[in-house]
Amino acid sequence: MKYCNRCVMPDTKPGVRIDEKGVCSACRAVEAKKLINWEARHEELKQICEDIKRTNTSCYDAIVPVSGGKDSQYQVWMMKEVFKMNVLCVCFSNHLPTEEGIYNLNQMVEAYGVDLVKVNVKNSAYRKLRRKAFFQIGEPSWAEHCGVFSSVANVALIYNVPIIMWGEDIAVEFGGKTSKVRKADARDINRNDLIKGKNVIEWCDEDILESDVFFFKYPAMEEFEKRGIKSLYLGYYHNWDGKLHYEHVQKYGFQPRKKGPLKGNYLHYDNIDEKLCEICIWLKYIKFGFWRPTDQCCYQIWNGRMTRAEAVKIVNELSSQFPDEYFQDWLDYHMITENQFWEVVEKYRNKNIWEKIGGEWRLKYPLI
């Protein structure tokens, strides 16, 4: 387990490479962003939007996938106010939203004057999918990731909306395994490293019927081509910076987490919409030796707001904190006992990077 000498990302993150100079692929991607002519990219997207508005026969010009979080609110603002598109927001509804998540999603609709479609999948099927993913691959939010990408794509086909404007390409921004080149086309978004090449149909059985998972199934690429529907990353055209997005949408009423950061978090405004995601993110710590504090601190380093030395201190302080604020809610929702949970955790613990000393698990390769 090696760490980048510029940020604090380890090479255990799937797809991250550390070169001969000790610099990770995510940091190299940050370097490449500085060479981009963002004004030219902006004009390119402006022309795409103008062409759509001139020829569009649908009720809506663009779909923006939303959670109510800072980044998706910024996407809505850009598409509606900057590019003057008639926006339809689409939200794959989580079943345990936080108080802040409920408020920010409702406030977004009011503040930006947009329509919102909420895709509420049947709770029984969603729970079964999450339980199955937790026990079989140690990743309970796999079903949610499928639903987020697939529901939006299906709604675009249902309403025949000519463009879906996603946020950032996570593989490019965070050095994921599909990170090769920065591209605008997001039609293959369902093949990113959150989905892991799996298909929801593989999970269907006598308990989970294929008729239960329509909004978890990503449409065939040919459907987009036949309709001429574009699926793009806004991050290709816009210099992505979550901190600046947060500061901007605060002016429109966005609220951070009232009680401050969740345990293990450095930021109090990031991923605060729902109660089921944090445990899944924490499981990265068991598998790869890092989780939320590393991601958040790397992002600050990449944007010049934190030194590596500062990040090392913060990551070492926060990484061992277990996010227990919503843990009982998580157990109750999945109908799993605490003993069952910890048994699964140990099943997926990466013994190549963890060792037990004095009855406690510790990373073999600490961040220094």
CA gap 64, 129 in Å, rounded: 25
- The domain boundary residue, chosen from 196, 213, 242: 242
Average pLDDT rounded to a whole number, residues 108-124: 95
Residue 162 near residue 56 (C-beta atoms within 8 A): yes
Same domain for 264 and 231: no
Percentage of the chain exceeding pLDDT 70: 96
Predicted local confidence at residue 190, as pLDDT: 74
Residues 6 or more apart whose CB falls under 8 angstroms from that of 65 comprise 72, 75, 89, 90, 91, 92, 148, 152, 164, 166, 167
In a domain? residue 198: yes
How far are the Cα atoms of 43, 115, 167, 321, 326 from residue 65, in angstroms, in the given order?
Answer: 22, 12, 8, 31, 25
Same domain for 169 and 63: yes
Residue 21 has pLDDT above 60, yes or no: yes
In a domain? residue 12: no
Same domain for 277 and 203: no
In a domain? residue 74: yes
For the chain, how many structural domains are there in total? 2
In a domain? residue 76: yes
Same domain for 197 and 148: yes
354 vs 169, more confident: 354
Per DSSP, the three-state class of 24 is: strand
Residue 178 has pLDDT above 70, yes or no: no
Same domain for 154 and 75: yes
**The pair of three-digit structure tokens given for residue 77, joined into one six-digit string:** 């603002």
In a domain? residue 207: yes
Same domain for 141 and 83: yes
Residue 189 has pLDDT above 90, yes or no: no
- Domain of 263? 25-34+259-363
Same domain for 53 and 175: yes
Same domain for 167 and 73: yes
pLDDT confidence tier of residue 334, bands split at 50, 70 and 90: very high
In a domain? residue 20: no
- The domain boundary residue, chosen from 242, 271, 289: 242
Predicted local confidence at residue 187, as pLDDT: 80
In a domain? residue 16: no
Average pLDDT rounded to a whole number, residues 162-191: 77
Predicted local confidence at residue 179, as pLDDT: 47
Average pLDDT rounded to a whole number, residues 141-169: 93
Same domain for 290 and 215: no
CA gap 230, 216 in Å, rounded: 20
Per DSSP, the three-state class of 295 is: helix
42 vs 15, more confident: 42
pLDDT confidence tier of residue 195, bands split at 50, 70 and 90: low
Burial of 107 (0-12, 13-18, 19+ CB in 10 A): middle
- The domain boundary residue, chosen from 212, 242, 272: 242
* Mean of the per-residue pLDDT values of the chain: 93
Predicted local confidence at residue 185, as pLDDT: 86
Same domain for 190 and 80: yes
Same domain for 325 and 237: no
CATH number at residue 220: 3.40.50.620
**Residue 136: which of 203, 63, 206 has the closest Cα?**
203
Same domain for 282 and 238: no
Percentage of the chain exceeding pLDDT 90: 82
Q: What is the pTM of this model?
A: 0.93
pLDDT in tens, 99-113: 999 999 999 999 999
Residue 240 has pLDDT above 90, yes or no: yes
Residue 181 has pLDDT above 70, yes or no: no
Residue 182 has pLDDT above 90, yes or no: no
In a domain? residue 252: no
Compute the half-sphere exposure of residue 256: CA atoms within 13 Å on the CB side of its CA.
18
